[in-house]
Structure 1
């Protein structure tokens, strides 16, 4: 297993741990931090392991951060209308 995949697994473990902690802002600040760390990490995973593994890690990250993805989709749909 490459270093990038190990870091992606650590990111997923941290994301799940942060989701278990109580939050006053519905975890949005934590989601922004996870996105800021996850985007370069996704590029690193794709660079080391290829586009198919990168897409799998992207899908895993989107399943963890599903509400930011839903709101982004709603925003894009409203912007295109």
Structure 2
């Protein structure tokens, strides 16, 4: 693996950590953070796909979508009356 591929994977890992941390923000701040994550994630995903290949790009695209669309735990644990 080349140095640029390792750097791209490290940047993607950092993006995933920031996406997980964005879930703990308040609702208004969370919306801003999610749009910022989308705006920065698209070029990062393109860079990753260019350096590591299309399968890595597809894999991290699906992982990023799962992380961004997952609801916070306190909303998911509500029970129906």
Supply the distance in 2 between the matched residues of 1:54 and 1:4 (Cα, whole angstroms): 11
- Residue in structure 2 matched with residue 79 of structure 1 by the alignment: none
Cα distance, 1:24 vs structure 2:
3.8
- Residue in structure 2 matched with residue 20 of structure 1 by the alignment: 24
- Structure 1 segments (4+ residues) deviating >3 Å: none
Aligned residue-pair number = 66
Gaps of at least 5 residues in structure 2 are 71-81
- 2:28 partner SS: coil
Normalised by the size of structure 1, how large is the TM-score?
Answer: 0.73
Alignment RMSD: 1.7
